Amino acid sequence: VLLASRPAGWVSEQNFRIEDAPLPQPGEGEVLVKNLWLSLDPYMRGRMNEGKSYAARQEIGEVMIGGTAGEVVESRNPKFAKGDKVLGMLGWQQYGLSDGKGLNKVDASRVPLSAYLGVLGMPGVTAWVGLLDICQPKAGETVVVSAASGAVGSVVGQIAKIKGCRAVGIAGGGQKCDYVVKQLGFDACVDYKAGALNDDLKAAVPDGIDCYFENVGGDHLQAALACLNPFGRIAACGMIAAYNQAVPGPDNLFFIVGKKLTIRGFIVSDHAHREPAFRRHVAPLVRSGQLVFSETHRQGIESALDALLDVLRGGRHTGKMVVDL
Amino acid sequence: VLLASRPAGWVSEQNFRIEDAPLPQPGEGEVLVKNLWLSLDPYMRGRMNEGKSYAARQEIGEVMIGGTAGEVVESRNPKFAKGDKVLGMLGWQQYGLSDGKGLNKVDASRVPLSAYLGVLGMPGVTAWVGLLDICQPKAGETVVVSAASGAVGSVVGQIAKIKGCRAVGIAGGGQKCDYVVKQLGFDACVDYKAGALNDDLKAAVPDGIDCYFENVGGDHLQAALACLNPFGRIAACGMIAAYNQAVPGPDNLFFIVGKKLTIRGFIVSDHAHREPAFRRHVAPLVRSGQLVFSETHRQGIESALDALLDVLRGGRHTGKMVVDL
């Protein structure tokens, strides 16, 4: 699947083109990988824009960017052998060729390989770094996370609980909120689709908010600003509400001054040095079942666009969205 | 001058009441101060609101809050003697009684006493802490400050220059911008009243913005976000655009994520421990004339409201606004 044109507003079918190509043959030092799962993530939307982004933008006519988990089918690189399970950024295609750079072998014997695209992969590190390094919550504090049922949010709240905090999610719909509280163990979850986000959030945080992990922006940020305590910290991980259309910012940003808040935007790739610590901490929690995760699977590369749209607009899925290739 | 009612929107005459009262007599441990200058500052507006603020709100029927510089006329406190020049928070009144708490003797032999309300007082510390401690600019970086001709902004840009940075101001009107560049020595100043803030700011910062010192908010913040460099820092000192009316926030807050920005709100009273370092650094610069300042003087306590309104809406004054009592 190639990017055919840059979207104006919401992504649509017209922005993509599916092409068949012969199976590539690995040259000296190269590895041929059969992609088994494609990861769908909010950041993809930003890369499709013309403008300079924090990372190299996706070029038109090239394979759409994306994280993948797969299996080596042919290797002319001494570091990889046929059958190795690997993570990479091989994009929206069934097979990918790699020179080994950015390709990482993983142990899929104790957790499903696809989990390395979610709870043990980029979304997991994002949650962990954003919560622990950026927000630095203390036991007893209140942590709120938007998009709480998603791949990142679900980890944020569970780690917050493990650290002794009160964890409150914001999610869209009663079903997602049930999942967040009953399956993930958050203390509360506010359904923003119920139409009373400001009041409902206020009621869910009797001691105010100390740490806010932002995935959404817009009215979510506005509601959080009203509840944040003095010296509150906001980890700005995403503002998905504004990816496809401009939305006006909160009209209560003066709380940043009055409450002496710190807002820090971050991109997980700047925190790669924290990955070993993340894995040491989180992998045992996942294996023991103390940290739970869910995945939504869509079938076939043709479903990738719909899967991405669900990620961007908040579909009915919970947890990590992957496409089975 | 007492607060008579809480303003809804812009402050007006109806919100104040002038009362005559007999000159108070100091009791044991008390000091009677003749207030010579009253300081007018943006924070006053926030204290007039009903809501919980970061500091105790101004109560109705009490003397309006405000910093003052004056002279001790009678003392029954061993720490103060008649004739001492003192700074305090004695409010909008010609004489004030103090138990000595929060009253500070200053040396007015080498700089005018009123300067302790501005460049060597709260606005100066605010500028110094916000720039050096919050933004932490490095030599060669670009620092932008809004309300650049004001008591705080004028110090921010001059300290930035002393630290080897490019200093760019934003101010309202050609006259103020001339002052900022020619008198204060900024590298450039953008006149937001010229109607092309986004483009003009962009043109004034060819290498982007590394540090943004925010006094205004609204469209100023929007313009700055567009120009900030990755890992840029924003010291949020004030958002005066929103003090009297709600203004929608910037619609480009996603830059906080994409550019990995840090925004930190602060209130100078939390940084009192930095005042000695501030004075050691800045007082010699002021005495030697390396750091210049200006004051706008209004005459008589009846002019205090107009002076406050000018501070809040950006009048034609430059530098520190004081009322000569």
Longest CA–CA separation in chain B, Å = 62
A55 shares contact with chain B (CB less than 8 Å): no
Task: Return the minimum-mean-pLDDT range out of A247-251, B3-7, B117-121, B229-233.
Answer: A247-251
Cα separation, A238 vs A233, in Å, equals 15
- Those residues with Cβ within 8 angstroms of residue B241's Cβ, 6 or more apart along the chain or in another chain: B216, B217, B218, B219, B220, B247
Q: Could you tell me if the ipTM is greater than 0.90?
A: yes
Cα separation, A241 vs A109, in Å, equals 38
Chain B residues whose beta carbon lies within 8 Å of the beta carbon of residue A249: 248-253
Q: What percentage of chain B exceeds 70 in pLDDT? A: 99
Q: Do B246 and A262 lie within an 8 Å CB cutoff? A: no
Among B239, B261, B265, whose Cβ lies nearest the Cβ of A260?
A: B265
B253 shares contact with chain A (CB less than 8 Å): yes
- Those residues with Cβ within 8 angstroms of residue A319's Cβ, 6 or more apart along the chain or in another chain: A118, A149, A150, A151, A154, A293, A294, A295, A296
Chain B residues whose beta carbon lies within 8 Å of the beta carbon of residue A261: 263-265
DSSP characters over A82-93: TT-EEEE---SS
CA distances (Å), A135 to each of A113, A157, A192, A204, in order? Answer: 30, 13, 23, 20
Going residue by residue through chain A, which has 325 residues, state the pLDDT in tens, using 9 for 90 and above: 999 999 988 999 999 999 999 999 999 999 999 999 999 999 899 889 887 655 678 899 999 999 999 999 999 999 999 999 999 999 999 999 999 999 999 998 888 999 999 999 999 999 999 999 999 999 999 999 999 999 999 999 999 999 999 999 999 999 999 999 999 999 999 999 999 999 999 999 999 999 999 999 999 999 999 999 999 999 999 998 887 778 889 999 999 999 999 999 999 999 999 999 999 999 999 999 999 999 999 999 999 999 999 999 887 788 999 999 9
Asked whether A101 and A268 are in contact (CB, 8 A), the reply is no
Q: What mean pLDDT do residues B89-104 have?
A: 95
Which residue is listed with tokens 């962990």? A128
B272 shares contact with chain A (CB less than 8 Å): no
Which pLDDT belongs to residue A54? Answer: 57
Asked whether A31 and A100 are in contact (CB, 8 A), the reply is yes
Which pLDDT belongs to residue B52? Answer: 62
| Residue A236, beta-bridge partner list | A214, A265
Residue B199 carries which side chain, given as an amino acid letter?
D
Chain A residues whose beta carbon lies within 8 Å of the beta carbon of residue B264: 260-263
Q: What mean pLDDT do residues B189-197 have?
A: 97
Among B237, B243, B262, whose Cβ lies nearest the Cβ of A264?
A: B262
- Those residues with Cβ within 8 angstroms of residue B243's Cβ, 6 or more apart along the chain or in another chain: A254, B42, B45, B46, B312
| Residue B211, beta-bridge partner list | B143, B233
Among B53, B239, B254, whose Cβ lies nearest the Cβ of A217?
A: B254
Q: Do B251 and A248 lie within an 8 Å CB cutoff? A: yes
Chain A residues whose beta carbon lies within 8 Å of the beta carbon of residue B230: 54
Chain B residues whose beta carbon lies within 8 Å of the beta carbon of residue A270: 260
Q: Do A251 and B248 lie within an 8 Å CB cutoff? A: yes
Q: Do A251 and B250 lie within an 8 Å CB cutoff? A: no
Q: Is the pLDDT of residue B188 over 80?
A: yes
DSSP conformation class of A101: T
Q: Do B251 and A252 lie within an 8 Å CB cutoff? A: no
3-state secondary structure chain B: CEECCCCCCCCCHHHEECCCCCCCCCCCCCEEEEEEEEECCCHHHHHCCCCCCCCCCCCCCCECCCCEEEEEEEECCCCCCCCCEEEECCCCCCEEEECCCCCEECCCCCCCHHHHHCCCCHHHHHHHHHHHHHHCCCCCCEEEEECCCECCHHHHHHHHHHCCCEEEEEECCHHHHHHHHHHCCCCEEEEHHHCCHHHHHHHHCCCCEEEEEECCCCHHHHHHHHHEEEEEEEEECCCHHHCCCCCCECCCCCHHHHCCCEEEECCHHHHHHHHHHHHHHHHHHHHCCCCCCCEEEEECHHHHHHHHHHHHHCCCCCEEEEEEC
Q: Write b or e for each residue in A218-247: b if 16 or more Cβ atoms lie within 10 A of its Cβ, otherwise e.
A: bebbbbbbbbbbeebbbbbbbbbbbbbeeb
Chain B residues whose beta carbon lies within 8 Å of the beta carbon of residue A247: 251
pTM value is: 0.93
The count of CB pairs under 8 A between chains A and B is 107
Q: What is the pLDDT of residues B11-42, one digit of tens each?
A: 999 999 999 999 999 999 999 999 999 999 99
Residue A251 carries which side chain, given as an amino acid letter?
D
B264 shares contact with chain A (CB less than 8 Å): yes
Q: Among B39, B42, B108, which Cα is nearest to B67's? A: B39
Query: Which of the residues A253, A261, A267 would you substitute to probe the B interface, choosing the one with the greatest number of B C-beta atoms within 10 Å?
Result: A253
Query: Which of the residues B214, B256, B257 would you substitute to probe the A interface, choosing the one with the greatest number of A C-beta atoms within 10 Å?
Result: B257
Q: What is the pLDDT of residues B146-176, one digit of tens each?
A: 999 999 999 999 999 999 999 999 999 999 9
Q: Is the pLDDT of residue B227 over 80?
A: yes
Q: How far does A265 lie from chain B, in Å, by closest CA? A: 4
Chain-wide mean pLDDT for chain B? Answer: 94
- List phi, psi (to 5°) of B44: -55, -35
DSSP conformation class of A60: T
Among A217, A260, A264, whose Cβ lies nearest the Cβ of B253?
A: A217
A289 shares contact with chain B (CB less than 8 Å): no
Chain B, 211 to 230: residues with Cβ < 8 Å from chain A are 217, 221, 230
Q: Do A248 and B249 lie within an 8 Å CB cutoff? A: yes
Pseudo-torsion of CA B156, B161, B167, B173, nearest 10°?
A: 70
Q: What is the pLDDT of residues B46-69, one digit of tens each?
A: 889 887 655 678 899 999 999 999
Q: What mean pLDDT do residues B268-284 have?
A: 95
Which pLDDT belongs to residue A165? Answer: 98
HSE toward the beta carbon, residue B256, CA cutoff 13 A: 30
E strand or H helix that includes residue A264: strand A262-265
Q: Do B265 and A267 lie within an 8 Å CB cutoff? A: no
Number of CB atoms found within 10 A of residue B63's CB: 17
Which residue in chain A has the smallest CA separation from B43? A258
A260 shares contact with chain B (CB less than 8 Å): yes
Which one of A245-254, B6-15, B183-192, B315-324 scores highest in mean pLDDT? B183-192
Q: Do A250 and B249 lie within an 8 Å CB cutoff? A: yes
Tokens for B109? Answer: 């032999």
Which pLDDT belongs to residue B70? Answer: 97
Q: Give the helix ranges, DSSP H, for chain A.
A: 43-47, 122-128, 153-162, 174-178, 197-204, 219-227, 255-258, 275-287, 304-313
How many Å separate Cα B224 from the centre of its chain?
20
Which pLDDT belongs to residue B80? Answer: 97
Which pLDDT belongs to residue A38? Answer: 97
A155 shares contact with chain B (CB less than 8 Å): no
Of the pLDDT bands very low, low, confident and very high (cuts 50, 70, 90), residue B240 is confident
Of the pLDDT bands very low, low, confident and very high (cuts 50, 70, 90), residue B237 is very high
